[in-house]
Structures are given as C-alpha cells and as structure tokens.
Structure 1
Amino acid sequence: MISAMNVGRFLSDTARLYPDRIGLIHGEDAWTWAELDANANAFRAALQDMGVKAGDRVMVQSRNNRAMFESLWGIFKAGCIWVPSNFLQTPPEIAYVAQNCGASAFLFEAVFADHATAAKAASGDLEHLIAIGGDVEGAANYDDVIAAHEGAERIDAKVEYEDPCWLFYTSGTTGRPKGAVLTHGQISFVVNNFTADLMPGLTRDDASLVVAPLSHGAGCHAFPQVARGAKTVLLSGESFDAETVWRLVEEHKISNMFTVPTIVKMMVEHPAVDQYDHSSLRHVIHAGAPMYLEDQKSAFEKLGPVLFQYYGLGEVTGCITVQPPEHYVVDVDDGEARPGTCGIPRLGMQIGIRDPEGNMLETGEQGEICVIGPGVMSGYWQNDKANAEVFRDGWFHTGDLGRLDEAGFLYITGRAKDMYISGGANVYPREIEEVLLTHPGVSEVAVVGIEDEKWGEVGVAVVVPTAEGTSVEALAGFVNGELSRYKHPKRYFFWDEMPKSAYGKVPKHLIRKTLFERGDLVEGEAV
C-alpha cells in the first residue's frame, strides 16, 4: 500500500500560512483560515469521541453554509468518509443513501429533521445525529459540539492512496443512486489538476463565488481555493438571483466561479450584468451540460475571454477535458473554429473512443467516450455489477458518445441513453438542438425520442421561446435543409421554462415525464 497525504491537510497548511486572512464569507459573516481550521479540528475530535472511526461514513444534508464548508475537513481529518447529499432530495431518497452507505453519523440542518429521522430508521449503523442551526430532539447541536472540543489538536488520520474520503452519489436517473468512491490520493490529484487546468495562477488574493451546492461539483471546485488560500463566498438565499451574483462579484472582486451553462445564460442575459463591475473575473468555469454556440457568443460579448469549459462525470471528478478561453472560437467562419468541442484531455488524463465491442476507433469516428487516469474513481460503493459495466479493459466507460479530431479535441455527439432510433437510423438529440438554438426565436430547447408505431421512435422538441417568439411552422421550415428528414422533430411544444435538476441540468427523463404530466402527450396515443 502507498501512503498518501490526508486531504484534510489542505486546510491546516493554509491556516498555518495565512491564519488571519479571510477564508469564508457568508452573508455579513466572515471567518479566518485559523477559525475554520480550529472548527474542523474540533469536529474531528468530536467524531472520534463519539466513537466514529476512520473509514466510517458521515452523511451531510445541508445547504451551503459555514458548517457544511468546515465540517467536511473535520471528516477528512478523522479518516472518515464524507457522504454529502443533495439538499433537495426527499426523506425516502436520503434513507436509501443512509442504508446503502451504512452511515455512522448524520450531520444535518435543523430544517431537515425529517430526513434525519428517515435516515436513522433506514440504517442500523446510524447512531449519531448532529443538527446545524437549531436544536432537534435526539440530536446534538453542531455549535455546542464544536464549543465542547475547542482547542482540539491538529491531528490528521494516516491514510493510504486508495483510502476513500468521499462517496459521491450519482443522480440516479436510470435507477437508484450509486456511490462513486473518491480517494485521498485521487482528490490530491484533482486539486492539482483543477488548479492547473481551470484556474491557472490561483493565489491567496483570489476570491471564488459558490453558486452551486458544495455537495457535488462545487465541492471539487472549492478544494483548490482552500489549498491556495483563496477566499470562498457563499450565496445566501433559497434561490438563484442573478443581480445578487453580480453585486457580490463587484463587492468581493470575485475572480472565479463554477456553475452550469443555464446559470451562465441567466447571468449574461440579466440587466445587472451591465450595472456592476465584473472586471475582476478571470475564470468562469462551466460544466454539467453543453453550452450552445449562441450562448457562448453572448457570454464572450458581455464577459470577455473568461470562459473555461470542462467535461467530466462525478465518477471522474470532472477530469476529462478542458477548453480554456484561447480555444473558444465563436465565429464559425473562422478557420480555427471548432464549434461543438468540449476541449482537450485534462493533464494526466487520457481519452479513447471505443466501439460496442471495445475496439479503439480512429480519429473522427464516433463511439463511446472512455477515459483512464488518476481522476477516475476507484469504483462504485459495494456494487460489483455496476463496476463490471463501467470498467472494461482497464478503461472507465462514460456512456457518452463522441469523437476526437486530429488535434485531440473531443466532441460529444450525444448520450448513449438519449439516442433514439427512427426508421432504423440513429438520431442524436444534441445535433438537432444545436440547429434549433441558432434560430432567433429559440432560447432553450430539448429534444427527446418518443415511441411511434410507424417509425419506432420519433423526435419531440420542447422549446422555450425568446421574447421575439416563434411558431411550429417557422421551426419546421428552419430545420428543413439543415437536417436530414428523419432527424426532423415530429412535434413541437412551447413551454415557459424547462424543468431542471438541482444542478441546473435539463434531464431528458424529466422532459419526457413532464410531457405526459402536462397532457402534451398521452400514453398509448400516436405522437
């Protein structure tokens, strides 16, 4: 076994170097690195006093706040495994995760007391409940726990490279969520990789705005800030507000943020983008879904060359590709333009395109995107069947389809599960969506395949129109000549907004579900 640095040291090392500098801001409150480290050490000591051992799982159900931010470092320091959940999940969903991971302790915001009750009922291993922001019967109070262990030593449990530190539960769109096992050695690589590829030049003088839940991709993004001493600013409030974002960017001279394309679009299209100074921004990092060409153009016009796109899954800690500003060419007539690319391989990672039989394909050929490198998880938690499906010949199989060009740029052509077959031909919704988004009357679009008696499946397009508006006839005429006939959507529906996941994505399964719930489509009737 190879020993590794306990990733909890990232916080301790920064606290020793910059004890009095501000590390975290939330609303009107701010905490220094020394204060955050002291609280993390106190939580580490508290867990150990409770009998929570190295390797035990500690679940966290919370919105972004100080306790959510600092406690994860205490969990790492104790050698325990951080199991954050999406705070929008229901009690039954949380109960499944608690049972699946065998959680020993559950840290939760007091407003999620029902989730804690459900988790405790589901997991026979769950003995310790700790409430944030209020008193809950049967649970310790987080602030009281920290106060009782004030002055705890800086002690980091000894760990090996492959020792788990984080169970990253997937969204489970095709079944129950699966826990991707992320290790201490892997996260150390991720911190270096994110810093080099996504935030080059990150220093103590930078500031990062968190606009997504720390439980998932934003957590990966927060780690380099801690490692480099850059302050983190958490949004306050229940919902996203673009004006608040731009106000905080100006107030704290935000230099980097991580989000998803739909949020970038909302920010760029909001009038406040022209009312606040955002010249401090150097890295606006987006991932989680494609950013369409028209949205890239708008972002460049408003923000300048600050966009960093990356492609990756939770199972690969986001480490598959990067597209820095110098690789964005939004003028499709430019000879160097590569419209549709999501970038080049991340440092230390390798991409291969494989056919269904596992053969490596040539440049330009479409197949499944596969990856190897230290950013890949060690496997799914206690799920041999799922591991056998995604790990073959040593490669991690993403389930996404794509191709590589001669320079090594990756193009995602679709999700294997999103593809539908119409009249015997494979149809990839993203290709259709890219065309429709160039129409001035289309703000957002999602295309899904729906069963059809004649063709097997046909495409249905859901459109959020711009203020300019559009019509079925206009869009049908627009795609004619741009796309082969079999790729034309059979039906168009106009909605005021798209249903989105907690992370700002537009899941295709949710589009299908909403089509039937709204009555746009009826089960058993022809499309």
Structure 2
Amino acid sequence: MGKLISPLFTTWPWAKWSEEREVEIALRDGNKVWTWTEVSIQVNRYANGLIQQGVKRDDVVVGVAKSGVDLIWLQLASIRIGARFSAINPKTPKAQLHQLVTSISAQHMWFGEGQESISGTWHHLQLINAEYSAIAATWQPNRLATLTFTSGSTGLPKAVAHSINNHLYSAAGLLSTMEFDNCDSWLLSLPLFHVSGLAIVWRWLLTGATIVMPTEDGLLNDLCGVTHASLVPTQLQRILDSGDVSRLALKRVLLGGAVIPTELTDAARENGIECWLGYGMTEMASTVTAKLADGEPGVGNVLHYRELRIEKGEVLVRGECLALGYYRSSGIMNITNEEGWYQTSDLGYVMGAELHIQGRADNMFISGGENIHPEKIELALLTHNEIEQAIVVDVEDEEFGQRPVAVIKMTQPISHDELHSFLKDKLTQFECPIRYETMPEHLLGTGIKISRPQVKEWVNSLPITA
C-alpha cells in the first residue's frame, strides 16, 4: 500500500502541471509528443475553437470516434468551458446512436476521421485550433463534467453523470494502492466511451505523468514504451507468448475480465510485470476494490474514498467517486437510497477484508427449484484453455422452468461431450448448460462488454433442434 494521494486541485490539472512540469512530456501520439505546457496551450486553443462554434457552458458535446488524441482534446476543451462531454462507441448502430444522443439532449456532435455522421437537431462540430484568449469558465470541480453510458450488458445504456472530482477521487483511491507516479506512462488501451478508458485519462491528469495513444502498429509495439496498461487476460497472454517481453518497459498491468489464471499472473511476475485486478462499475467512476493478483478468488479490498457494505447479499457502495446520478434531458436522476448508498445489484460477500462477487441479482434464474448464477457457469467455462468468451443465458423449459445455454467464443472447436465432461466436477447437474452455441461475430463488436440481453435475444431466435 502506497501513500494516500490527495485529489484536491485549485486549478485545471493541465494548468497546474504546465507550471510545475512545463517541459516534461505529458502526451505521446506515435512519434509526436506534447509537453505539459503544450497540452495546456492546446486545450485552451481548442476550447476557444468550441466557443467560436457556439458551444456554451452546460451544453452537451458528444464525440463519436476511435480513441485518439483528438478525442482527448475534445474532452478537455469541452470541460474547460464548462460544457458536458460524452464519448459514444463509434460502432453504435445509427438508430441507437440517435436514441442515445437524443436521450441526453446533446447540442453538439463531433465525428472522428472516417466516421459516418448522422443528422439531427444538433450542431456538427469541428476541432478548431483557435488563437488563445481568456476563457470565462472557472475551476469548479464539483460541476457535472462527463456523461458516460453504461455498457448496456444488462439493458439499455444509461448516461452516468460525473464531476471532475468524482474522476479525481477515483484515480486517487486506486493510485494510493497501485503505484503510478509522474515518471510513469499509461497506454490509453481502452476506449474513452467506457469508464475504464476515461479512468486512464484522470489517472494521468491526477499525477502529471504521461499518457500514450495507441497506434496502428499493434499492442506489442505500443507496450514497448509504457510502464502501465489496462488489458484483458488474453491480451497479456499473447504478449507473454510473443517471446518479445524483454523489449517491454511494462511494470504494472490492471487486468479486467472475469477469470485471471494464476499461471498467467505468475508468468507475468517472472517477467517483471505486476498484475492487478479489481471490481468496479461506471457509477463509481471505475474501480471500487483492487489487489495485486494472488491466485485467490476475491476481488480485493475497498480503496480509499469509497465505502462498501453487504445488505441481504447485495453489494452497496458510496463515496467521493459515486456519480451525481443518471442524466436525462430532464436533468440528473438520483441513484442512491435514503442513506446515500448505490445498490449495485451485484451479489457478494466480504471475507476478511476482501470482497467476493457471486454474480448479479438480475441475471439469476431458477431451474428445477435451484438458484442458478450464470456468472458461476461462465467462470467455470473460462478456465478451459480454448475458451476466450462465455455468456450463459436462460431458456424456457417445460419441466424445469428455465435451463442454462452457453454461448462461447473458442480458439478451436470443442465438442458438447468434451465440455460437459470438463464441467461435471466444477458444477452441479442443474448448472451444466443443456447446449453450447458459438458466439456470432456481431455480438462481439459493439463494446468492451458483451450485451447479455442481445445474446439472450439471439439464442431465443435460433431454431430448436431435436
């Protein structure tokens, strides 16, 4: 455990670092680098460019693009003038994109290079690097700054409203445990439309370190020049298998995903890479608990600036990084109970001081009178070396009410009999899937998380074979 980091600033983070670390590298995009002084100047120029195009305080600015330096400029420039910034997945279908933008009453939209635009009542922005002039908006870290849509893994995405302080406290809590300081660099390996990508930006801004943009040269090359990255286990496995680990400067990896094999984290440690894992959610501006990977099933201890309790088996959270609420065109909707706790719908328990997650209350179903947690079945499936992704959904069954069906992405074909044999000593008979389907490509490509409702809809559309 490192020292407790304070997230309190008296001015915009990039302005602070431009005074204290003026000529040190703040941002790297391929061969191009920006010092903190240059970042501060760029943010002010792009902010003035937005003002010239009619963006005002409290307006909602939407960016639809792959993660890259332009999206960073748009985010920071929007916040600098008191507007609200939201990044949306560029792979979102047009009809849903229109629905999401309308739900937050966006006044302005910016589409990245090669991104097909959509028409509506909003104004289409350009990134204009305007001459610097004074900007009226002052440093108010508790104002609404960002709108991040939930993954939609359990229903329609909701726009989660965060202040600058929500993000800074989130970063400070994690970095008081997991070391990352101003001599380090973090690869923006996750998209800004997801809270995990957004969190990388605020860890950078909190510490005055370096953020590195992904390139077209591939993950291995991108990792050669950074000390920190956020990855999923399959990415780390490929890096370790590449035989080029000696090229890396990588010190720490924050791993996401349900199953993190001990063999993987042991191999990483042997190559000088610490693996961290945790539990988090959009509503808490990313990570709530974290730990150094130790092979045990828990997801770590509660980080600073957060609180957690278990009530009737459900995980409740609150703290400085809890969102202001859900944002709709009518305003901010409260998300807490009377005592200020957010009810996560995650089922779990605390053993010692460590949180253990069992699954989601809204995913559970009953089969033959038994409570079935899809996540437990998914965890068992993901321990198979040839399975990369697994989602378990329930289907109607005349005799048992509901039965589980597994939809999986495999590196090579595995027979039903082999899977059944693999699971029989890991699950009860009721928990074993009655059939296995191969994950279709269209369900993999819409975000970081696979949408469980979409998987269920797809399974129910399949013809039933005898």
Q: Name the TM-score class by shorter chain.
A: 0.7 to 0.9
Alpha carbons of structure 1 residues 378 and 495: separation in structure 2 relative to 1, 3 Å: closer
1:170 lines up with 2:116 in the alignment: no
Residues 57-77 of structure 1: CA deviation (Å, up to 9, x unaligned):
111112222221122222111
> Which runs of 5 or more residues in structure 2 are unaligned?
1-6
1:301 lines up with 2:267 in the alignment: yes
Shift of 1:97: 2.7
Question: What amino acid is the match of 1:351?
Answer: L
Q: Match of 1:158, SS?
A: coil
Shift of 1:7: 8.8
Residues 328-364 of structure 1: CA deviation (Å, up to 9, x unaligned):
322xxxxxxx3x2111111121111122xxxxxxxxx
> Which runs of 5 or more residues in structure 1 are unaligned?
132-141, 331-337, 356-366
Question: What amino acid is the match of 1:298?
Answer: L
Between Structure 1 and Structure 2, the one with more helix by share is: 1
Question: What amino acid is the match of 1:343?
Answer: G
Higher relative contact order (CA 8 A, sep 6+): 2
Shift of 1:276: 4.1
Q: In structure 2, what is the equivalent of residue 233 of structure 1?
A: 212
Residues 218-253 of structure 1: CA deviation (Å, up to 9, x unaligned):
12112221332322221123xxx7xx2222322x2x
Q: In structure 2, what is the equivalent of residue 195 of structure 1?
A: 175
1:341 to 298, 303, 319: 298
Alpha carbons of structure 1 residues 441 and 501: separation in structure 2 relative to 1, 3 Å: closer
Question: What amino acid is the match of 1:329?
Answer: D
Q: TM (normalized to structure 2)? A: 0.88
RMSD of the alignment, in Å? Answer: 2.9
Q: Partners of 2:136 and 2:433 in 1: how far apart?
A: 57
**Residues 146-295 of structure 1: matches in 2 within 5 Å?**
146=129, 149-153=130-134, 155=135, 157-158=137-138, 160=140, 162-198=142-178, 200-203=179-182, 205-216=183-194, 217-237=196-216, 244-250=218-224, 252=225, 254-259=226-231, 261=232, 264-269=233-238, 273-277=242-246, 279-287=248-256, 289-290=257-258, 292-294=259-261
Q: Match of 2:323, SS?
A: coil
Shift of 1:187: 2.4
Q: In structure 2, what is the equivalent of residue 504 of structure 1?
A: 448
Q: Partners of 2:143 and 2:441 in 1: how far apart?
A: 43
Conserved 8 A contact 2:168-2:206: no
More displaced 10-residue stretch of structure 1: 98-107 or 265-274: 265-274
1:37 to 31, 35, 40: 40
Q: Partners of 1:516 and 1:270 in 2: how far apart?
A: 37
Question: What amino acid is the match of 1:41?
Answer: N
Residues 144-199 of structure 1: CA deviation (Å, up to 9, x unaligned):
x21xx22334x47235454201111223345443211101332232232232234x
Conserved 8 A contact 1:246-1:278: no
More displaced 10-residue stretch of structure 1: 377-386 or 272-281: 377-386
More displaced 10-residue stretch of structure 1: 71-80 or 458-467: 458-467
Conserved 8 A contact 1:400-1:416: yes
1:376 to 319, 322, 327: 322
Conserved 8 A contact 1:372-1:394: yes
Shift of 1:460: 1.3
Alpha carbons of structure 1 residues 384 and 426: separation in structure 2 relative to 1, 3 Å: farther
Q: TM (normalized to structure 1)? A: 0.78
More displaced 10-residue stretch of structure 1: 188-197 or 5-14: 5-14
Q: Partners of 2:431 and 2:328 in 1: how far apart?
A: 41
Question: What amino acid is the match of 2:403?
Answer: V
1:46 lines up with 2:49 in the alignment: yes
Corresponding pairs, count = 457
